[in-house]
Amino acid sequence: MPDKKILLEVKDLKTHFPIRKGVLNRTVGFVKAVDGVSFSVQRGSTLGLVGESGCGKTTVGRTLLRLIPASSGEVTFDGQDILSCPMGQMKPLRSRMQMMFQDPYGSLNPRMTVEDIVGEGLTVHGIARGKQRRDRVSEILEQVGLSRRYADRFPHEFSGGQRQRIGIARALAVNPEFIVCDEPVSALDVSIQSQIVNLLQDLQEKLGLTYLFIAHDLAVVEHISEWIAVMYLGRIVEYASRDELYSNPIHPYTKSLLSAIPHPDPQKKHARIVLKGEVPSPANPPRGCHFHPRCPWAEQACKINDQKLEIKADHHLAACWKADKIGRQ
C-alpha cells in the first residue's frame, strides 16, 4: 500500500464464542463469529466492512475495541499491540478509538441529558470539567449540526437523525483518531441518511478521522469508503480498493451481493444472481469454502479445500481459487 501511514492493522483475528450446554455448563462447541480476519486501515481513510447479518462484521468492530475478548490474532493500533495491552492501560487508547452505533434509540441513555451523554467521555478521561466541559460540548454539538441550546434536553426529545448526531458528537468529544461506525445510517429514513453520510465525510475531512465503516448497504459503502472488505461467515472473502471491487468483483459472493441490490431506476434491467438457500450457522460452518453450498459455480474441490485470500490483481484480494475461470461473467 502506498505512502499513507497505516493506523490500524489486524492480523488473523479470531473471536469464538463458546456454546455451553447441560447442568455442568460444559462447552460443547464454538460459534466462530470471526474466523481469521486480516486487514489494515490507512490513516485518514475509510475501510468499508460489508456483509449480511450474522457474518461477523459487528463482532470485528467490537473486538478491535476490546469490548469483546478476542480468541487469537493481533491488532496493532498506531504501533501498539492492543490485544495484549493490560486492561488498566487501555484507557488512554480508548480515547483515541471510539464507536458509533446503529440504533439511535437504544444507544443513548434516556435518563441523561445531551450534555451528560456527550460530556461523559470528557470527565472519564479527565479532559475537561465544569465550564470547560460545557463549552466543549457546545462546540461539538455545533460541529455535528445541532444547536448548543439542546445541551439540557433528553434523548426522547429528538428525532432519529438528531439522535444519531448526538451519537456522533459523543464519539467525537474525546478527540479520537479512529471511529468504528457500526451501521450508522441503516436505521434512518432515506432523506436523513444522506445528511448523516455527508456529515461523516465533512468531519473526516476536517478532523482527519479514520473510519471503519460497517454496513450491509453496498451503495452507501461505495459512496463513503476507499477500501472495502466483504465478509461471509466470519471470513473476508474479498478485499479491494473501491474502484476495483465495484468495477471488477471477483468472488462469487460479492458478485451476487452486488447483483441483488435493487436499483432505483426501472429502465435498468440487469442480470441477477439469486442465491439459493441462506447463510449457514457460524457454529457449524460448511467444510472447505464456506460459500460453496450457495455458490452457483461450486464444484467438488470447493467442498474440500479451504480458501485463502490471495492477490488476484492490483489492490485486489479474493478467496476463491476459481476466480480466474469465473472471470468477468
Partner 1 sequence: MSEHEILLSVQNLSTHFFTQQGIAKAVQEVSFDIPDGHMTALVGESGCGKSVTSLSILRLIPDPPGKIVGGKILFKGQNLLELSEHRMRAIRGNDIAMIFQEPMTSLNPVFTIGNQIVEAISLHQGIKGNAAWDMAIDMLTKVGIADPARRVQEYPHQLSGGMRQRAMIAMALSCSPSLLIADEPTTALDVTIQAQILELLKKLQNENRMSILLITHDLGVVAETAQTVVVMYASRVVEKADVQSLFGSPRHPYTQGLLRSLPRLGQRRKRLDVIGGSVPNPVAFPSGCKFHPRCPIGAKDPHCQACEPPLQEVQPGHAVACWYAEGYRR
Interface residue list for partner 1 (CB under 8 A)? 52-53, 159-162, 189-195, 197-198, 201, 216, 218-220, 222-223, 246, 256-258, 260-267, 272, 274-275, 278-279
| CA nearest to 150, candidates 132, 169, 131 | 169
Q: Which is nearer to partner 1, 163 or 170 (CB)?
A: 163
In whole angstroms, how close is the CB of 69 to partner 1 at the nearest point? Answer: 27
Q: Which is nearer to partner 1, 52 or 120 (CB)?
A: 52
Q: Which is nearer to partner 1, 8 or 55 (CB)?
A: 55
Spatial contact of 198 and 213, defined as CB atoms under 8 Å apart: no
Spatial contact of 39 and 10, defined as CB atoms under 8 Å apart: yes
Map grid coordinates 473471536 to a residue: 15
Q: Which is nearer to partner 1, 42 or 256 (CB)?
A: 256
Spatial contact of 245 and 228, defined as CB atoms under 8 Å apart: yes
Q: Which is nearer to partner 1, 28 or 260 (CB)?
A: 260
In whole angstroms, how close is the CB of 305 to partner 1 at the nearest point? Answer: 24
In whole angstroms, how close is the CB of 252 to partner 1 at the nearest point? Answer: 12
In whole angstroms, how close is the CB of 96 to partner 1 at the nearest point? Answer: 28
In whole angstroms, how close is the CB of 306 to partner 1 at the nearest point? Answer: 22
Map grid coordinates 479532559 to a residue: 127
Using CA atoms, how far apart are residues 201 and 205, in angstroms rounded to an integer? 6
Name the residue type at position 46. Answer: T
Radius of gyration of the CA atoms of the chain, in A = 21
